[in-house]
Structure 1
Amino acid sequence: MVSRVIPVDPFDLVIFGGTGDLARRKILPGLYRRYYDGQMPEEARIIGAARSEMDADGFRDFVRGALDEFVTKRHDKKMVDAFLAKLDYVAVDAKGTGGWDALAKTMRDGVVKAYYFSVGPALFGDIADRLHEHGITDDDARIVVEKPFGHNLETARALNATLAAHFDETQIYRIDHYLGKETVQNLMAVRFGNMLFEPLWNAQYVDHIQITVSETVGVGGRGEYYDKSGAMRDMVQNHLMQLLCLTAMEPPSRYDPDAVRDEKLKVIRALETTGHDDIVRGQYKSREESYLEDVDNPGSITESFIAMKVRIANWRWNGTPFYLRTGKRMKERVSEIVVRFKEPPHSIFEEDTGQSANELTIRLQPNEGMDLTVTIKEPGPGGMRLIDVPLDMTFAEALGEEAADVPDAYERLIMDVIRGNQTLFMRGDEVEAAWAWTDPIIEDWTRREDRPYPYEPGSTGPEEAMILMHRDRRRWRELRA
């Protein structure tokens, strides 16, 4: 396989929160890898902006340490030095006036201007105001904002209004790194690029669909934030919702930002209200480790796990349930979409032959790839015995070593910002529609004072999540990395 690297136009990228954890772990190492692969032009510049008082050399030392820690492959001293030469730094006060004139003088004309808001949402408005007041942006400037996009519908609307005061919707890039994953994009390629699947992608042939994002880690150092959000706000409302939309949406008229996002929005608006009986919430708990201790709140009723049955009220999916599952401190770290097809309407084989239904599994992590389970005859002379075997397309095995080293999601998405391509970014009305569906569910929990079920760390979640599936005579796919 030959990988094509298409360079982007010259740019000035300002990273607000340039000394923060996200910049250190993801953004700056990702930009270095894009430079190493030849996608970043020589005229490109990256400017760190934060409250920390340091000069450009200090910022370069900070970035060198980040690259030493988080870049293993492609770590070349000459390339690192050349990349660091592209860096600059300006100390700015997001809520005050300090540093903004210096930042304005640093920006160049005639290049793409992009501003990455790698800070808390509380500072989005202040930064947008300062950029406007100091004339640092133009009509082609782009801003990148990290989740959370609000805490509920009201705050999401307020945040959108704040950004819209100075920027057009075409300039706002709401980044969800899940949409930058190679397999997520391949989901669209498999559906809309192959005649094999799309005719079967509906309620007539699909029994149900499972979407799972499980993590082995706990809440870690995010306890204070996580306890105010929980799995519903932190994962379902954005990450799982996006995977649901891409799986369920109608074919867009073309691969175009608004065409794709229009179809995703239709899915969200077609979601039926999910009742209490179709939701299971959990908290990890054992003698050695407890969610309540990790968040330092012994009375917390915030969920670290959620499983739910979701229905889409449209012609394509009427009667086909979608099962969503996500949790902390689970058995395996797995993100996958499983499309379970119906069994043949009539079997010519005897009942004990072992015939079952086909499954298409799309693995986002780890080991990105896909496999389709098909039924074949078991080899041997023992009569007609059927077994299920996977047609496996693990990218690293099927496409060679280059596929095993695909760009990180942040790398791809930041380059899309420079190109001006919003296809893999969420639109404002899409975010608000997701909150409009999520809020009533959370309000119902609050009203009922609903308490999560305990589950053992390192398990597959509370037993009640299994019962949710067994009630429908179905089973969760086993968590395996």
Structure 2
Amino acid sequence: MTAPEQETRQATPCAFVIFGVAGDLARRKLLPSLYELWVEGRLHEETAIVGVARRDYDDAKFRQEVAAALEEFHVPGCTQTAEWRSFQRTLHFAGFDLEDTDGYRRLYQRLSELSDDTRVERQAVFYLSVPPEVFPDVVDHLDEAGLTRRHATKDGTWPRIVVEKPFGRDLVSSRSLNDRLLASFDEECIYRIDHYLGKETVQNLLVFRFGNTIFESIWHRGSVDHVQITVAETLGVENRGRTYEQMGALRDILQNHIMQLIATVAMEPPSAFDGRHVRNERIKVIEALRPITEAEVAGDFVRAQYIENVVDGEPVKGYRQEENVAPNSATETFVAGKFHVDTWRWSGVPFYIRTGKRLASRVTEVSIHFNEPPMQLFRGLDDTPPRNVLAMRIQPDEGISLSIDAKRPGVTMALDSVQMDFSYAESFGGGSLADAYEALLLDVIHGDPMLFARSDMHDAAWVALTPVLDAWQDPTLGMLDYYPAGTWGPRAADELMKRDGRAWRAL
């Protein structure tokens, strides 16, 4: 995220190396985002984008593959433009297997040649768009080839490395991976990416809270009854069955995306709008999560798996019928739960979360549910409306909605709940919002860490969730529930709210 005074930052020459460039993430997100940054003039003219994959490509063939990806996943026809013709000159390829030590030496040589050809020293960025289990091996080989600290620029700037989630499977593996990264890169050079933090609406949470006195003044336990966070997907695991079997919904979404949303909603105002101070406040929230007991896991958490169903007239497979999924798999595709943030501001305010695959609708939303008035003047009315709710829609239809009570026109006293809405599309034009990866990749190039997780953030999240993972090892506590594909999850998730006298917001 760039502060206002940083919008005029000059781009610096960069060698952006993508490991796994033939993969889905690179083709759908990374390459289109880099192209869009180029079109917008946000990349230096001497930028070099180097793709690494186990392919027998030369630069010309790689450029053809990138063009095909842009036509399929970005804007059809974009490769017929002058912008594409200039962008393709930045594209280079280094073909080798990730286990090939000599390949990394050739990469070192290629980067050196690119600098020699243009007489420009480039900041190196290594993006690991590869399975997490090979992160340590890739870093080892980068080290051996002199591509980490020993490949610093002449002014002493070290290369940066970007790693995708999941960052470990638990606290032990997360710390082990972090130790390996820190052996070769300084903390300020490690960018643990979570694309949710790059979304416009998530970034706007900070502005919404700390730029508007009217809302921050009621953002506390005195006014708020509870908070709900929903991250729902309509898709199943698609072609990720083998990978998803090792994760499940808790590791895939709760440990990172939802924890970051909780932190952003509940954090205190930072003393400065920069990476260090904002991230300091986020980590305080996660460290303040109340430890979860075994009994609370049994009563306050739900894990479930989708089963086959007919959705919109089409048969949909259950999770166990997906490719590369065990026929008796106990991996959860849905999780719901309740957290407490034990701070002065949020003491006694529950944070309810739910996330799942094959749900009824694709939506990510944070909703703040306010207390009822201390005196119910309209208690006797038959149609007393529900409490006020502030809903922040992360995706799709990005925007903010506030429900308030109003008198219905007429000679009798009758109340209705009405909406005050802000829509990104209506307020800032009908064009689509920039992809989250655009902002995040630019921040990596500029060395701005605000929207990236530090190692202590991952540690705190794993510490908070370890009691849940441990309890789920007991079949009686980790009992798997089921829900038909295309629904809002298992009944147990509704019962979780009902026991507290609340209900999930209709989405």
Match for residue 363 of structure 2?
Answer: 334
Output the CA distance in 1 between the equivalents of 2:238 and 2:176. 30
Output the CA distance in 2 between the equivalents of 1:60 and 1:351. 70
Output the CA distance in 1 between the equivalents of 2:77 and 2:63. 18
Q: Contact 2:71/2:77 (CA < 8 Å) preserved in 1?
A: no
Percent of residue pairs bearing the same amino acid type: 44
Find out whether 1:129 has 2:156 as its counterpart: no
Q: Contact 1:7/1:38 (CA < 8 Å) preserved in 2?
A: no
**1:141, distance to aligned residue in structure 2 (A):** 1.5
Find out whether 1:60 has 2:63 as its counterpart: yes
Q: CA RMSD in A?
A: 1.7
TM-score by length of 1: 0.95
Q: Contact 1:355/1:387 (CA < 8 Å) preserved in 2?
A: yes
**1:211, distance to aligned residue in structure 2 (A):** 0.2
**1:97, distance to aligned residue in structure 2 (A):** 2.0
- Most deviating of 74-83 and 159-168: 74-83
Output the CA distance in 2 between the equivalents of 1:349 and 1:73. 56
Output the CA distance in 1 between the equivalents of 2:87 and 2:243. 34
Q: Contact 2:71/2:79 (CA < 8 Å) preserved in 1?
A: no
**1:315, distance to aligned residue in structure 2 (A):** 1.1
Distance 1:118 1:296, change over 3 A: closer
* Residues 20-419 of structure 1 mapped to structure 2, 5 A cutoff: 20-72=23-75, 75=78, 77-78=80-81, 79-107=83-111, 108=115, 110-136=121-147, 137-138=151-152, 139-274=157-292, 275=296, 276-286=298-308, 288=315, 289-294=317-322, 296-352=325-381, 354-379=384-409, 381-401=410-430, 404-419=431-446
Secondary structure of the structure 2 residue equivalent to 1:315: coil
**Structure 1 residue runs of 4 or more that deviate by more than 6 Å after TM superposition:** none
Output the CA distance in 2 between the equivalents of 1:350 and 1:264. 40
Find out whether 1:11 has 2:11 as its counterpart: no
- Most deviating of 30-39 and 99-108: 99-108
Secondary structure of the structure 1 residue equivalent to 2:17: strand
Letter in 1 for 2:104: W
Letter in 1 for 2:378: F
Alignment counterpart, residue 420 of structure 1, candidates 447, 467, 470:
447
Q: Contact 1:33/1:74 (CA < 8 Å) preserved in 2?
A: no
Q: Contact 1:12/1:46 (CA < 8 Å) preserved in 2?
A: yes
**1:83, distance to aligned residue in structure 2 (A):** 1.3
**1:236, distance to aligned residue in structure 2 (A):** 0.5
- Most deviating of 214-223 and 85-94: 85-94
**1:355, distance to aligned residue in structure 2 (A):** 4.1
Q: Contact 1:5/1:37 (CA < 8 Å) preserved in 2?
A: no
Q: Contact 1:36/1:74 (CA < 8 Å) preserved in 2?
A: no
- Most deviating of 183-192 and 260-269: 260-269
Secondary structure of the structure 1 residue equivalent to 2:367: strand
Letter in 1 for 2:98: A
Find out whether 1:467 has 2:467 as its counterpart: no
Secondary structure of the structure 2 residue equivalent to 1:200: coil
Any unmatched runs of 5+ in structure 2? 1-6, 310-314
Secondary structure of the structure 2 residue equivalent to 1:347: coil
Q: Contact 1:203/1:319 (CA < 8 Å) preserved in 2?
A: yes
Distance 1:286 1:18, change over 3 A: closer
**1:385, distance to aligned residue in structure 2 (A):** 1.5
Letter in 1 for 2:203: Q
Provide, for residues 371-409 of structure 1, a one-character-per-residue CA deviation record: whole Å limited to 9, x for no partner: 111111212x232212111111110012223xx322101
Secondary structure of the structure 1 residue equivalent to 2:235: coil
Output the CA distance in 2 between the equivalents of 1:221 and 1:426. 27
- Most deviating of 170-179 and 42-51: 42-51
Secondary structure of the structure 1 residue equivalent to 2:325: coil
Distance 1:73 1:208, change over 3 A: farther
Output the CA distance in 2 between the equivalents of 1:437 and 1:350. 40
Q: Contact 2:335/2:356 (CA < 8 Å) preserved in 1?
A: yes
Any unmatched runs of 5+ in structure 1? none
Output the CA distance in 2 between the equivalents of 1:50 and 1:228. 24
- Most deviating of 206-215 and 346-355: 346-355
Secondary structure of the structure 1 residue equivalent to 2:404: strand
Secondary structure of the structure 1 residue equivalent to 2:421: strand
Letter in 2 for 1:363: R
- Most deviating of 91-100 and 412-421: 91-100
Q: Contact 2:369/2:390 (CA < 8 Å) preserved in 1?
A: yes
